[in-house]
Structure 1
Amino acid sequence: MSNERADVRSIEVIDAFRATLAGFVDAGRAALLEAESDLEKTILWLDRDRIGHWNRQIRKRQELLTRARSELYRKQMQTSAKGGRAGDSDERKNLQRAERHLEEARRGLEATRTWIRRLDRERTLYKAAVSPLATALDHDLPHAIGLLRKMSENLEAYTSMPAPELARLLGPTEDEAESTRRTASATMEVPASEDEPDEEETGTVPSKDRQEPAP
């Protein structure tokens, strides 16, 4: 187990970092939502607007092509004042122009469908690519922000506790220690009791062994 200790010098720094991390989470979420929204809007615009636009253009240009063909046919049926065939160069140009315009509309419709398929595939790849970042923004980083908030609250509670007395931390003074040692030594000493004098030393004889003098 590591014996390293955290060197926390400022609770304000923790709070500032937590606020910065929260701002990054908000900005990241907004960026992901904006990018996905742009893809969705583009696909929706192509599908609902451009597809309809080119379909209408195709119908309109088909009508113009039909009209150009009819005008060319009528021109070809006419005869000139001299009995010859009337000139139809203008009608032929109009027909060629109508054919080109119709082909352009058809290519536009096909290109729109191609872009819809491509963007739909890119949207799927994009979601897969940003999935780890989205998970971090939705779960991992908010959890880290919660831990930082709890850390700050615990440090605030710790710093608000009253400081212990300096004398208690430093221990007893030299005089107090000497007095304590003397008191302990005196308590442990047992007072010696005086021995009663031995009978032999005093020269006395027990009363039961004394002989009474003859009367």
Structure 2
Amino acid sequence: MSQAEVRSIDALRDFRAALALYGEDVLAALGAVDAEIRRTVQWLQQDRPYFWQEQIKRRRERVAAARADLFRLKLQKTPEHHPSLAEPKERLRQAEAALADAERRLMLTRKWQPALHLAVIEYHGTVQRLKDAASADVPRAMALLTRIVEALEAYLQVQPPDGRGAEAARATPAMESIARDAIDRDDEEGPSPAAPEEAP
């Protein structure tokens, strides 16, 4: 049977508490990232396309209005009357530039949708092991630490041998029984948290 040198049961309790906080923090952080990803996906796939489609519609109306104003001024031109066309032309140029910008932004929005979808899939694949560790391995490790602490506390309740052979012989099997019980319970509940695999 393997032996361990335990100097402080309180240190094991503190480690168990820190492990619990770590698991909660990891799951909370991953949940926050998932929520932000959902908001970003909705923004890019629903909000932005709708916004730019509406902008295109409005800006086309402005272009049409600017063209109509320019055409009306051209009709007012006579040999005696020469209205200035510089300002209406500039308004038309700005309206057309704004329309082209909205069309370009809608195109970019549609272009980035598949790229974002691929990035989200890669992200979920990358963090899956961390999520599994926080949701499954950490609780298993905490349960094992609980059993170890209980076994050590039970061991401390065993009367130390006073030097006589009979009592010493009774104390050692009692501790082995406590340790075997803790290990057997761990085997029944499944493997302990696996150590991270080394990169090839």
Contact kept? 1:39, 1:119, Cα under 8 Å? no
Match of 1:134 among 128, 131, 135: 131
1:153 to 150, 153, 167: 150
- 5+ unaligned residues in a row in structure 1: which ranges? 172-215
The separation in 2 between residues aligned to 1:7 and 1:161, in whole angstroms, is 17
Q: Deviations over 1:142-196 (max 9, x none)?
A: 111110111111111221233444445589xxxxxxxxxxxxxxxxxxxxxxxxx
What letter is aligned with 1:135? Answer: D
Partner of 2:52: 54
Shift of 1:48: 2.9
Moved beyond 4 Å, runs of 4+ = 168-171
Q: Is the 8 A contact 2:161 2:167 kept in 1?
A: no
In the other structure, the counterpart of 1:143 is: 140
Relative to structure 2, which stretch is displaced further, 22-31 or 58-67? Answer: 22-31
What's the CA shift for 1:59? 0.4
TM-score normalized by the length of structure 2: 0.76
Instruction: Please tell me whether residue 40 in structure 1 is matched to residue 38 in structure 2.
Output: yes
- Residue 180 of structure 2 aligns with which residue? none
**For residues 37 and 106 of structure 1, what CA distance do their matches in structure 2 show?**
29
Could you say which residue in structure 1 is the equivalent of 2:69?
Answer: 71
Indicate the SS of the match to 2:69.
helix
CA distance in 1, matches of 2:24, 2:77: 78
Which has a greater percent of helix?
A: 2
The whole-number CA distance in structure 1 between the counterparts of 2:28 and 2:118 is 22
* Structure 2 match to 1:20: 18
RMSD: 2.1
1:87 to 84, 91, 104: 84
Structure 1 counterpart of 2:113, which letter?
I
Cα distance in 2, alignment partners of residues 119 and 170 from structure 1: 70
Query: Residue type matched to 1:97 in 2?
Result: Q
Percent of aligned pairs with the same residue? 32
Aligned residues, how many?
A: 168
Counterpart of 2:14, as a letter, is A
Cα 1:18–1:89 shift into 2, 3 Å: same
**What residue in structure 2 maps to residue 184 of structure 1?**
none
Counterpart AA for 2:75: M
Determine the structure 1 residue equivalent to 2:109: 112
What TM-score do you get using the length of structure 1 for normalisation? 0.71
Give the whole-Å Cα distance in 1 for the aligned partners of 2:77 and 2:39: 57
